[in-house]
Structure 1
Amino acid sequence: MPPSGTETAHINGDIILFVGVGGVKLRASRYGDPQSPPALLLHGGGQTRHAWADTAVALAEAGYCAFTIDARGHGDSDWSPDGDYRADLLAADLAEVMRSLDADPVIIGASMGGLTAMLTLGEDPALTCRALVLVDVAPRLERAGVRRIIEFMRRHQDGFASLEQVRDAIAAYNPHRPPPEDLSGLRKNLRQRADGRYYWHWDPAFLDHARMPVDDEGMFDISRLNAAAQHLDLPTLLIRGYQSDVLSDAGARELLSIIPHARYAVLDQAGHMVAGDRNTVFTETVLDFLNHPDMTGNANSGLTGARR
C-alpha cells in the first residue's frame, strides 16, 4: 500500500521493541503513559508505523498508551530470515505482542493490519481485546483495487532517484490528495542505499505473499476470515473510505452481516488510505467510538451507518 505522506516529522514516540515469532524483532513507537490502557495500531501492507503518528498522539492525549508497530519485513522491524510473510506469521506476531502487554488493548488495524487482527482475535479465544477498529477492510475486497495496490508496489522495485520522484509516484496513485510540500516525512517510508537511490522500507520478498487476487483469493483466505469474524464478540467499528476502490459498501455490509453488533462509519473524501486522507475526522471517529458510554457494540447506537 502506498504511504500516506502525511506524517508530521517532529512527532516521535519512544522507541521500543516487541518480539514476534522466531525471535523476529518488531520495532514500535510508544506514545503516552505506559500505565494507560494500551492501543495497538497496525498499518497496511507496504506501509510503516509512521502512518499512524498523528492518530497515536491524539490517542495518547485521550488517555491511551498508543503503540504504532512495524510489521515484520516493514519499516525498522526485522525481515523474515526465510522471506516468509504468510498471514499465519503476521497473526502469530500479533498474538505475541498482545501476550506481552499488561492489559487488554484496543486494536486499530488498516488493510493488512485489520485482517491480521481479525484472524488473530477470531481464531484464538484466549486472546482478549477491549475493542477493534477495522479500517477499510473486510474479508471480501474488490480485486481491482487490491490489484492496483500490488501493481504500485511492484512498479518501483528499482527505487527512486529523488524524493520528488517518490512524491510524484504517490500522487499518481492517489491524485485526489494534494502532494506534501515538505518531503522530509517521506523519508520514514524509505531506505537510502549506498547507490543513493531510495527504496520502499519493506522486504521485497513480501510481494511473494501479497499476490494478485485470483478467484477471490489473495494473501488472506476469505473463508477463513469469514469464520474468524463469526467469533468476534467484542465492540467493533468498521470505517470505510467513501472513495475506496478496495472495500465496497457491499463488501462492508457483508462483514456487518457476520458481525451484526458492529458499528459502521463511512468517511467522505477518503479512499483506501482513510487515516492519511482525512486524519482529523478519522481520529475523531475512532475516539467517538472508544468514548461511547455503551461499549457493548450495540448496532442501534453511536456511529452505525454514519457518514462523515
Structure 2
Amino acid sequence: MEAEVGGVAVHYAEHGSGLPVVAVHGAGVDHREMAGALEPVFRDRPGYRRVYPDLPGMGRTPVPDWLRGSDDVLDLLLGLVDAVVGDEEFAIAGHSFGGYLAAAVADRRPSQVAGLALICPLGEEARDVPAHAVLHASADVADALDPAEQGQFLDYFVVQTPATVERFREYVAPALPLVDRDGLGRMLDRWRLSGVPGGAAPYTGPTLILAGRQDSTVGYAGPWELVERYPRATYAVLDRAGHALPHEQPALFTALVTEWLDRVDERGHGGQLKD
C-alpha cells in the first residue's frame, strides 16, 4: 500500500483492524523486519490494525531530493500517521533508529499515542557499548547464506543458529539490496533530531523499553537512562541478545510485548484508565 506524504509515495504494509499500531524499522532494512518480529504477537490477539511503513531510502519508499536528515524523516512519518491513522489514538513501536523516531512521535503527539515500545532504541549518545561477541554459534551456519549476506549476518547476530539464519533470510536479507545507500547516507549525516533532547514533558502512557545485554550497536546503558522520561516504563535487558534481540529471544520478546499491549488496552480514550 502507498500513501502520498509531501509528494513522496510512502510504502507500507497493513494487517488487521482495530487500534492502530505503527511499527517503525531501523536503518538498512525495511518493514519486513518489524513485521517478522511483531506479527507472531498478534497471531492470536485480534483487535489491532498493524501499520508497517518503509522509511525513506529503504524498501519501496524513495528518498526525496529535499530530505536532509532525521527532522525530515520524522515529518514524513508524522504525515503518514495523519494520512493513514488520522486523529485516532494509536500505539507506536520502533527498533533501533525506528525507536528514536517512535520516541519523538510520542513527544509530539502524547495525547494521541496510546502506548510506546522501544526495542534496542538508538539514543542521542551511545555509551558503554560492548564489542561484538558471538555467544552461541552452530558450526558453519552462515554457509547457508549467499557470500554477500554472510558478513551482514555475522556482524548483526550474537546467536548464530539455523533458526536465526532462517529469520535473517526471511526478514532482513530481502531488504539489503533495496537500500538507497546515497540517500540513507545523506539522512544519517544529520541523524540527530533538532531541539533539546528530552525537552518535551515526560510521556506518561504505557511504555516498554527492551535492550540486548550484548548489543554492540547501541548497548544497554543508554536505553536504561530513558527510564526516567517514562514513568510507566517497563525496562528489560535480555541476555543472549544483541541488536537483533527480537530474532534471538523471540519468546521473551513476544511475552513482553504482549504484556505491554495489556497495559495499552487498559487505557480509555484521552489517556484515562478504564475502570
Distance 1:260 1:246, change over 3 A: farther
> For residues 189-224 of structure 1, what are the alpha-carbon distances to aligned partners after superposition, in whole Å with 9 as ceiling and x for unaligned?
14xxxxxxxx3523422113324xxxxxx6114863
**Matched residue, 2:118:** 134
**Matched residue, 1:289:** 260
How many Å apart are 1:49 and its aligned residue? 0.4
CA distance in structure 2 between the partners assigned to 1:92 and 1:182 by the alignment: 31
SS in 1 for 2:160: coil
How many Å apart are 1:254 and its aligned residue? 1.8
Q: Is 1:188 aligned to 2:160, yes or no?
A: no
**1:73 aligned residue (57, 61, 65):** 57
**1:50 aligned residue (27, 32, 40):** 32
2:45 counterpart letter in structure 1: A
**Matched residue, 1:155:** none
Q: Is 1:227 aligned to 2:212, yes or no?
A: no
CA distance in structure 2 between the partners assigned to 1:293 and 1:108 by the alignment: 12
Q: Is 1:93 aligned to 2:76, yes or no?
A: yes
The aligned length equals 248
Distance 1:266 1:181, change over 3 A: closer
**Matched residue, 1:202:** 180
**1:273 aligned residue (244, 260, 273):** 244
Q: Which runs of 5+ in 1 are unaligned?
A: 1-15, 149-161, 191-198, 212-217, 297-308
Question: What fraction of aligned residue pairs are identical, expressed as a percent?
Answer: 21
Distance 1:238 1:175, change over 3 A: closer
Distance 1:38 1:146, change over 3 A: farther
Aligned ranges for residues 37-186 of structure 1 at < 5 Å?
37-54=19-36, 55-59=38-42, 61-63=44-46, 64-82=48-66, 84-100=67-83, 101=85, 103-124=88-109, 128-137=112-121, 139-142=123-126, 164-174=146-156, 176-178=158-160, 180=165, 185=170
CA distance in structure 1 between the partners assigned to 2:265 and 2:169 by the alignment: 41
2:78 counterpart letter in structure 1: A
> For residues 203-257 of structure 1, what are the alpha-carbon distances to aligned partners after superposition, in whole Å with 9 as ceiling and x for unaligned?
422113324xxxxxx61148633223x3422221111111112344432232112
How many Å apart are 1:105 and its aligned residue? 1.3
CA RMSD of aligned residues (A): 3.1
1:43 counterpart letter in structure 2: H
CA contact (8 A) 1:85 1:206 kept: no
CA distance in structure 2 between the partners assigned to 1:183 and 1:232 by the alignment: 33
CA distance in structure 1 between the partners assigned to 2:78 and 2:154 by the alignment: 36
Q: Please, what TM-score do these two structures have when normalized by structure 2?
A: 0.77
Deviates more, 1:138-147 or 1:91-100: 138-147
Q: Please, what TM-score do these two structures have when normalized by structure 1?
A: 0.70
CA distance in structure 1 between the partners assigned to 2:130 and 2:70 by the alignment: 16
Distance 1:233 1:174, change over 3 A: same
CA distance in structure 2 between the partners assigned to 1:187 and 1:46 by the alignment: 10
> For residues 268-287 of structure 1, what are the alpha-carbon distances to aligned partners after superposition, in whole Å with 9 as ceiling and x for unaligned?
21112222322332122111
